[in-house]
Amino acid sequence: MTTQQQYYYATGRRKNAIARVRLYMEKGPVVVNGKPIEEAFPWENWQRVINEPFRTSDTQGRFRVVAKVSGGGITGQAGAIRHGIARALQIADPNLRTPLKRAGLLTRDPRVKERRKYGLKKARKAKQFTKR
């Protein structure tokens, strides 16, 4: 007999990265794509970004997180996981909405790479102009 564990699900996005986050109501590690957070995001800054919603809401160590993240770079993925965790925390406990909202963790960062325009080298970079 298998027992169903209750979890809260949310999707986080940042740049081109999409994170699907499950928040379990038990103590445990943060697992990203089947690896512990220390292995998936070895730089301490990325780990700090991911754990920011827990520090803001004073729920450090109360939840087990399983996240699947794809697309984008490693910084975008860390931001997407942070966004997903914040949204899942809000679903788990609606009282946490205010501190998470004040910290700006529930807002999706709208900044994405600008598309390249024809006649230009990059989005805004043009060839050097020569008068003669």
pLDDT, tens only, 20-57: 999 999 999 999 999 999 999 999 999 999 999 999 99
Q: How many CB atoms lie within 10 A of CB 31?
A: 17
Q: Tell me, what DSSP letter sits at residue 3?
A: P
74-92 vs 44-57: helix axis angle to the nearest 10? 20
Are 50 and 79 in contact by the 8 Å Cβ rule? The answer is no
What is the reported pLDDT for 132?
Answer: 85
Asked if residue 128 is part of any domain, the answer here is: no
Asked if residue 20 is part of any domain, the answer here is: yes
Residues of the domain holding 37: 7-102
| CATH code where residue 88 lies | 3.30.230.10
Asked if residue 118 is part of any domain, the answer here is: no
Number of domains in the chain: 1
Asked if residue 46 is part of any domain, the answer here is: yes
Q: Note the pTM of the prediction, 2 decimals.
A: 0.89
